[in-house]
Amino acid sequence: MDIKHLQYFIEVANFNSFTRAADHLFITQPTISKMIKNLETELGVELFDRSRKQLILTDAGRVVLEQAKLIDKAFHNLETEMDNLLGLKKGHIRIGLPPIIEASFFPRILSRFHQDYPNITFQLVEDGSKKIEESVQNDLIDIGVIVLPTNNTLFHHFAFLEEDINLIVHPSHPHACGKEIDLADLENESFILFNKDYVLRDLIISSCNEAGFSPHIVTESSRWDFIEEMVYCKLGVALLPESLCRHDERIKTIKVRNPSISWNLGFIWSKDHYLSYAAKEWLKYTREALSHK
């Protein structure tokens, strides 16, 4: 038995399918089937009940899966420590980013970091704050950028950006000539919001409720550029972070007051999971870069 046997077994258990696990690992289905069969032979137990349409773990399979995950995690930590001993000559960092932050900033930091550590690679995962928190908690990514606040019992964090949320409207909209607007004046508008994976959506709805109304949501999206395009097509109005409102000159931007809305972005990382030296160095490097921005 080697670590590959256990890793392949974990993948099959995750997907409940030899075929899907093989596709995910970029190997053939007969190869992974043979590996699992060899593991069953060596352990002297059947790990899966193959008599049904859906692949199901046996009692022995569940026990082996629990231990296999612990072994795989320990092996991953061992690999990471070996990388650390090489003085950050190599490594891999998994970072979750919401697709609603200004696009040019993080690539500049990544580029400078890459110049100093050319053999450290990155996996960038775009998702809403809620999914990013889940992924950090489940050790699917190392570091996440989210809308604060966060759960301080689960995550370390530091804030790096606070900015206003502004209203965007079509130039022909009745409010387009104004520079500021009370949130309550938008009670009868149709809103285009981010979907339920985004904390910004909750923030906007709670602010509207504070202003005395529930927003009429005409549609939702996960893409800020698509939201801007829908505003330009007169489907409704939207509220976006100030840095994103500068991208499309075809729409008008108006400050919101009574109450004003702002968001606070920050990095989070788990208190319970191991953080590699490469990831720690990235956090240190980024914190310094942001402090000078």
Question: Residue 282's closest CA among 272, 271, 269?
Answer: 269
Residue 1 pLDDT > 80: no
Strand partners, 205: none
pLDDT for 247 equals 66
The dihedral of CA 215, 220, 225, 228: what is its sign?
negative
pLDDT for 39 equals 92
Amino acid (1-letter code) at residue 118: P
Q: Which two tokens stand for residue 283?
A: 């956090």
Q: Measured between alpha carbons, how far is 102 from 195 in angstroms, rounded to an integer?
A: 18
Q: What is the pLDDT of residues 123-159, one digit of tens each?
A: 999 898 999 999 999 999 999 999 999 999 999 999 9
Mean pLDDT (the chain) is 89
Q: Measured between alpha carbons, how far is 230 from 242 in angstroms, rounded to an integer?
A: 18
- Per cent of the chain over pLDDT 90 is 59
More confident residue, 102 or 249: 249
Q: What is the pLDDT of residues 67-99, one digit of tens each?
A: 999 998 888 888 777 776 666 777 889 999 988
Q: Measured between alpha carbons, how far is 192 from 205 in angstroms, rounded to an integer?
A: 11
Strand partners, 185: none
User: CB-hemisphere CA count at 13 Å for 189?
Assistant: 25
Residues 101-130: what's their mean pLDDT? 86
Run of H or E residues at 190: strand 190-194
CB within 8 Å of 190: residues ≥ 6 apart:
216, 217, 218, 235, 236, 237
Model pTM score: 0.66
Backbone dihedral angles phi then psi of residue 257, each to the nearest 5 degrees = -140, 170
Find out whether 247 and 229 touch, Cβ atoms under 8 Å: no
What DSSP character marks residue 237?
Answer: B
Tell me the residue length of the chain: 293
pLDDT for 214 equals 96
Residues 217-245: what's their mean pLDDT? 92
CB within 8 Å of 2: residues ≥ 6 apart:
none
Residues 255-271: what's their mean pLDDT? 92
Of the given ranges (84-88, 179-183, 201-205), which has the lowest mean pLDDT? 84-88
Residue 293 pLDDT > 60: no
3-state secondary structure of 143: strand
Find out whether 36 and 65 touch, Cβ atoms under 8 Å: no
Backbone dihedral angles phi then psi of residue 55, each to the nearest 5 degrees = -70, 125
User: CB-hemisphere CA count at 13 Å for 3?
Assistant: 10
Q: Measured between alpha carbons, how far is 163 from 121 in angstroms, rounded to an integer?
A: 30
Residue 19 pLDDT > 80: yes
Backbone dihedral angles phi then psi of residue 115, each to the nearest 5 degrees = -65, -35
